[in-house]
Amino acid sequence: MEFRYLGVSDIKVSTVGLGTWQFSESWGVTNYEEAKRIVERAIEVGINFFDTAAVYGRGMSETFLGKALKELGVREDVVVATKLPGEFLSRHDVFKGTKRCLERLGTSYVDLMQVHWPPLWNNFPTCEYMRALEELMHQGVVRYIGLSDFPVELVESAWSCLSTEDLVSNQVRYNLVERDAEKEIIPYAEAYGLSILAWSPLAKGALTGKYTPDNLPEFKDVRTGSALFHPDNFRQIYEVVRLLKEVGGKHGKTPGQVALNWLLTASDTVIVIPGAKTPEQVEENAGAAGWRMSFDEWLELEQASSKVRISRVIW
C-alpha cells in the first residue's frame, strides 16, 4: 500500500481508502457481520483510511464502522472521516450532530470532519458552521476539517472563515469518465495543498468491467436510474472499459484496478475511496496501489476518456 499526507496535516493515509456508503439500504450491506468482514479485510491489506457520513443509512454506516474498528482493536491505528450534511449546519446542530456521530462511531474524536454539502436550502451563513467546526477542533473532538462537494468559490469562502485552523481536503466526484473536477477543483487543490478525496472513483461500478452494453441489469440500489448506465452513455463508457481491460492484461490487473491507478497517477493530491460490498472487492481495490502504468498507457486512457460525454438529460 502507498500513503500520502492528508492535505497540510501530519496524517498519512492509504492512497486507497474504504468508502462505507454501502453499509446502508442504499447499497444493501445491512448485516453487521458482513460489514465487519469488509472492514477487517481492509485493515489486512493495508488500508488505514475509512470514510463514512451521518446520512449513510441514517447512522448505520457510522455504527457498523465504529463497532468493527473497536472489536478489531484498531481505532488508534486508523483515520476515520465522517460528514455532517447541509441540514445539520446551524451552530447548535454542528455540535449536536458531531456528538451523535461520536456516539455512533464509539470514539472520543473524529480524525476528519467534513461538511457533506453546502446548506443550499437552509440559508446558514458559511462562517457560522465553519467557526463551529473550528471550535470543535479546539475542543479536541475533531482533528481536522474538510469539505465535500464544494466548488472552488465556496471552498475559498469556507476557508476564509477559519481563524486558526486550515482545511485539509475536498471530497468530490472524480473518475475516469466523470472528470469535471479537473477543470477547477483539482488545480486549486494542488495550488493550496488540499487533498482530493475521490468519491465514486469507479463510476458506480461502470468501470469495473462487470457490465456490457448488452448486459445492463435493472439495478435495485442507489444506481437505479443512473445516467451512467443509460445506454447512450454506457456505450461510450464501454470503449474506455475495453481499454482498461487491455492495459490491465499487460499488468495482471483488473479494469477497476487500472481505473483507480489512473486517478492516483493523475495527481499527487488524489486519494481514492471506493466502496466494497465484499472482502474480495476490498482486496481488489487495494491492488490499485503499488504499481504504475506506462506513460503511453496513461495517455491512451486520457485520450479515450476525454471523448466521453456523459449526458444527464436522459428523460
- Per residue in 280-300, pLDDT tens? 999 999 999 999 999 999 999
Mean pLDDT of the chain: 96
- pLDDT bracket for residue 84 (50, 70, 90): very high
Cβ-based neighbours of 99, under 8 Å, separated by 6 or more:
none
- Per residue in 232-277, pLDDT tens? 999 999 999 999 999 999 999 999 999 999 999 999 999 999 999 9
- Per residue in 25-68, pLDDT tens? 887 789 999 999 999 999 999 999 999 999 999 999 999 999 99
Cβ atoms of 289 and 264 within 8 Å: the answer is yes
Q: What is the per-residue pLDDT for 64? A: 98
- C-alpha span between 300 and 161 (Å, rounded): 42
Active site residues per annotation:
56
- C-alpha span between 103 and 132 (Å, rounded): 19
Helix (H, G, I), strand (E, B) or coil at 287: coil
Instruction: Quote the pTM value.
Output: 0.95
Q: What is the per-residue pLDDT for 225? A: 79
Q: What domains can you pick out in the chain, each with its CATH number? A: 3-205+253-292 (3.20.20.100)
- pLDDT bracket for residue 113 (50, 70, 90): very high
